């Protein structure tokens, strides 16, 4: 993998040196912003059609939420399973807000997508007979999770990257962040990019733009997401005129490792699929008091049960006990988790793990059409977590995220046809240095906003706390947007703007919904509303209900 990434970096460096000499015509290329599974799969599917793509990543190519995905990818691959069962589980977890049409389409694509990967050479874990091993996770009535140890996302990412790194149809631009976007008079998209450790600002103009930027977990103080999950695609899409939807539905993963030395380290749901039990400080199981499926209930329910236990007991965490399995089994089935915990002095075969919920997944996002990827703006597409397809409803079913990445990418590539174009220019404008005072202020605002979101817009909400958070977020957002910064095109300042934009709309969406449903729980409105609807936000930031 190291050699693979070195090759990508070398290719990128050469293309940048060429661009610095003069304006460069990139000709027939689609721009893809984001290098996670959805972005790479889109590029691969486009390459099969002979369409070139330029993949932009604001960090190294491996820094994505895909790389951190442990559990696996859900698909019907067993004779004892069926697409109908997968549909049923997805609809149930989504708490009434899933688009049944979308659920049927994506779950039906599952076996086809997995078989295509297998034919290309992707290796999932297998049993002694050479058949793919299937795990079970919360909300699934049977085993249907394909996995590679506890590093499935990383394995898929490496595999897809290996398929396209030598392709003449794929170009990579790591360490570049899109800091501004607008639509040109001719209807094309104009993006401004800054490069890490460079003073140059590039402008890209393209006819087709694919956003594969992931979610917004870093809006919260505690999250399982990588540090770059800052809602970049949502703000870009809004500036280009696209609709957003259901931003109030932020899923909290029930089990992140509770240890200050382990930043954002997720404890996969697959442990609970192998029989791990959640217990309190007295060793007592408690999730069964909330749901008959206990630890294998949908994520929103398990997270709520953990929060209730922590608040009623005054504990800082709860514990995940998998000590009924041997050290040999755990080190082989969950090598990354086992070794990480061992580094911290915890042998999970002997000692229960301290865990807490953390912001994990955005169930809403950029509103897409029934084709799963096109948006309200012509030739603008959203794939993966940043898109709002209706698959997840009010709460995502475990391991449906990687499936959605694969499915939306395939559908996106099938829609892009005809002439595509991309033009690059090197602006004379240069990126200024950020003053020390501004660096401090960005850090202070960033920290304050994330604490506000964690304390007031978390698992359990009230109108009082939501309004308190909104007033403070709006104040910070106003200060950030009106301040005369020493450098207006800074990477971290752009991320701060993106996080504040998302936070404001997330809170407003939560206040707009007068009910408790799925991952949105408001103590002031504990019951369901009579009619089901999605929260839609148009380009003027007006809110409306889209009834299902």
Q: What is the pLDDT of residues 422-455, one digit of tens each?
A: 999 876 666 678 899 999 999 999 999 999 999 9
**Amino acid 418: pLDDT:** 81
**Amino acid 15: pLDDT:** 43
Alpha-carbon distances of 286 from 130, 290, 299, 320, 461, rounded to whole Å:
38, 8, 15, 12, 22
**Amino acid 5: pLDDT:** 54
**Amino acid 21: pLDDT:** 35
The class (CATH top level) of 2-12+43-68+155-249+361-425 is alpha beta
The rounded distance, in Å, linking the Cα atoms of 359 and 247 is 13
The rounded distance, in Å, linking the Cα atoms of 34 and 278 is 35
**Amino acid 428: pLDDT:** 61
Comparing 123 with 488, the larger pLDDT belongs to 123
**Amino acid 3: pLDDT:** 60
**Amino acid 429: pLDDT:** 62
The rounded distance, in Å, linking the Cα atoms of 537 and 507 is 13
| Neighbour count for residue 474 (Cβ, 10 Å) | 15
Kindly tell me if the per-residue pLDDT of 20 is higher than 70. Answer: no
Q: Say whether 9 sits in a helix, a strand or coil.
A: helix
Kindly tell me if the per-residue pLDDT of 4 is higher than 70. Answer: no
The rounded distance, in Å, linking the Cα atoms of 124 and 143 is 14
Give tens-digit pLDDT for 287-315.
999 999 999 998 889 999 998 999 899 99
The rounded distance, in Å, linking the Cα atoms of 466 and 463 is 5
Domain range 254-359, its CATH number among 3.50.50.60, 3.30.56.10, 3.90.700.10, 3.10.250.10? 3.90.700.10
Which of 58-62, 95-99, 407-411, 543-547 is predicted least confidently?
58-62
pLDDT band, residue 186 (cuts 50/70/90): confident
Which of 185-189, 209-213, 244-248, 470-474 is predicted least confidently?
185-189
Q: What is the residue-averaged pLDDT of the chain?
A: 92
Kindly tell me if the per-residue pLDDT of 9 is higher than 80. Answer: no
Q: What percent of the chain has pLDDT over 70?
A: 95
Q: Which tokens go with 178?
A: 């899109």
Q: Residue 164: phi, psi to the nearest 5?
A: -115, -10
Q: Which tokens go with 484?
A: 């005369």
- Model-level pTM? 0.92
Residues 6+ apart with CB under 8 A from 460: 304, 307, 521, 523
Domain range list for the chain = 2-12+43-68+155-249+361-425, 73-150, 254-359, 429-547
475-514 as b/e: b if 16+ CB within 10 A = ebbeebeeeeeebebbbbbbbbbbbbbbbbbbbbbbbbbe
Which of 291, 286, 451 has its CA nearest to residue 355?
A: 286
Kindly tell me if the per-residue pLDDT of 134 is higher than 80. Answer: yes
Give tens-digit pLDDT for 477-512.
999 999 999 988 889 999 999 999 999 999 999 999
**Amino acid 261: pLDDT:** 84
CATH number belonging to domain 429-547: 1.20.58.100
Kindly tell me if the per-residue pLDDT of 13 is higher than 60. Answer: no
Catalytic residue positions? Answer: 299
């Amino acid at each position: 993998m190291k050699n693979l990434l070195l090759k990508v970096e070398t290719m990128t460096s050469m293309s940048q040196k060429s661009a610095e000499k003069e304006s460069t015509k990139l000709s027939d290329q689609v721009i893809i912003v984001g290098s996670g599974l959805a972005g790479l799969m889109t590029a691969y599917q486009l390459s099969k059609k002979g369409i070139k793509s330029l993949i932009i990543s604001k960090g190294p190519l491996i820094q994505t939420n895909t790389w951190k995905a442990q559990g696996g990818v859900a698909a019907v691959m067993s004779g004892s399973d069926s697409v109908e069962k997968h549909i049923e589980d997805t609809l149930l977890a989504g708490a009434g807000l899933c688009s049944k049409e979308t659920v049927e389409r994506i779950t039906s694509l599952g076996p086809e997508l997995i078989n295509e990967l297998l034919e290309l050479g992707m290796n999932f874990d297998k049993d002694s007979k050479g058949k793919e091993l299937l795990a079970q996770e919360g909300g699934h009535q049977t085993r249907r999770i394909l996995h590679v140890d506890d590093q499935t996302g990383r394995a898929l990412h490496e595999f897809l990257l290996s398929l396209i790194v030598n392709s003449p149809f794929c170009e990579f631009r790591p360490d570049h962040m899109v800091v501004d976007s607008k639509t040109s008079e001719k209807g094309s998209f104009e993006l401004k990019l800054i490069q890490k450790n460079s003073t140059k600002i590039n402008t890209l103009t393209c006819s087709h733009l694919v956003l594969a930027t992931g979610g917004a977990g870093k809006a919260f103080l505690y999250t399982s997401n990588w540090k770059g999950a800052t809602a970049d695609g949502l703000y870009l899409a809004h500036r280009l005129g696209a609709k957003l939807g259901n931003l109030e539905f932020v899923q909290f993963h029930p089990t992140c490792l509770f240890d200050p030395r382990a930043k954002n380290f997720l404890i996969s749901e697959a442990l609970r699929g192998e029989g791990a039990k959640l217990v309190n400080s007295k060793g007592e199981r408690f999730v069964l008091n909330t749901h008959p499926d206990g630890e294998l209930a949908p994520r929103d329910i398990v997270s709520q049960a953990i929060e209730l236990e922590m608040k009623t007991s005054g504990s800082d965490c709860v514990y995940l006990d998998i000590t009924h399995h041997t050290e040999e089994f755990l080190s082989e089935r969950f090598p990354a988790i086992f070794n990480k915990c061992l580094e911290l002095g915890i042998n999970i075969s002997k000692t229960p793990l301290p865990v807490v919920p953390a912001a994990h997944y955005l169930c809403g996002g950029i509103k897409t059409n029934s084709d799963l990827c096109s948006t309200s703006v012509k030739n603008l597409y959203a794939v993966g977590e940043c898109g709002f397809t209706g698959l997840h409803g009010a709460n995502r079913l475990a391991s449906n995220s990687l499936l959605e990445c694969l499915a939306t990418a395939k559908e996106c590539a099938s829609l892009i046809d005809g002439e595509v174009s991309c033009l690059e220019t090197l602006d004379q404008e240069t990126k200024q240095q950020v003053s020390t005072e501004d660096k401090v202020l960005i850090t202070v605002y960033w920290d304050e906003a994330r604490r506000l979101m964690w304390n007031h817009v978390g698992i359990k909400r009230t109108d009082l706390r939501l309004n308190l958070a909104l007033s403070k977020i709006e104040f910070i957002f106003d200060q950030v947007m009106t301040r005369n910064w020493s450098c207006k095109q800074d990477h971290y300042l752009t991320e701060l703007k993106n996080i504040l934009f998302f936070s404001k709309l997330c809170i407003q969406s939560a206040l707009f919904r007068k009910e408790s449903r799925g991952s949105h729980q408001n103590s002031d409105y504990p019951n369901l509303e009579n009619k089901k609807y999605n929260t839609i936000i148009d380009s003027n930031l007006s809110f409306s209900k889209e009834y299902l």
